[in-house]
Amino acid sequence: MNPGAELAAIDPAWLLTFRGYTLMLPESRKFSNLSLARAVAPKYAIRRSAKVADIKAPMGGKVIKISVNVGDSISEDDEVAVLEAMKMEMPILAEEGGTVAEIKVAAGDTVEAEQTLLVLS
């Protein structure tokens, strides 16, 4: 299987995720490698993932600042927000680049650990 590809069995089909596409392959279709899966992509593609990544809070705390706006292009390690936790301010950095598609919190909001702060596309 190609790195970055995921294959999951669902009854009675297979779901193959590769390069942002999710393919539903009927169980009766036999494929031995990713080349064949790519060949059937136009017929069985069920969606193109728009979401590249969620930026999540590493711990619970209060959102002090959102440093980006929807539509902004960001790079890896750019500061996207600042959280206050245990009386300390903690910058939240992007783990990968992308475009800010959605901001799910506002300054002053209290968030839980692993709560999505922003969505990149």
User: 53-120 belongs to which CATH class?
Assistant: mainly beta
Q: Hey, CA dihedral for 47, 53, 58, 61, is it positive or negative?
A: negative
Read off the pLDDT of residues 24-38 as tens digits, 9 standing for 90 and up.
Answer: 666 545 554 455 555
- Model pTM score: 0.57
Confidence bin at 18 (pLDDT 50/70/90): low
For residue 92, count CB atoms less than 10 angstroms from its CB and return exposed for 0-12, middle for 13-18, buried for 19 or more.
Answer: buried
Q: Where are the beta strands (DSSP E) in the chain?
A: 6-10, 13-18, 21-26, 45-48, 53-56, 61-66, 73-74, 79-85, 88-93, 98-103, 110-111, 116-120
Q: In the chain, which segments carry CATH 2.40.50.100? A: 53-120
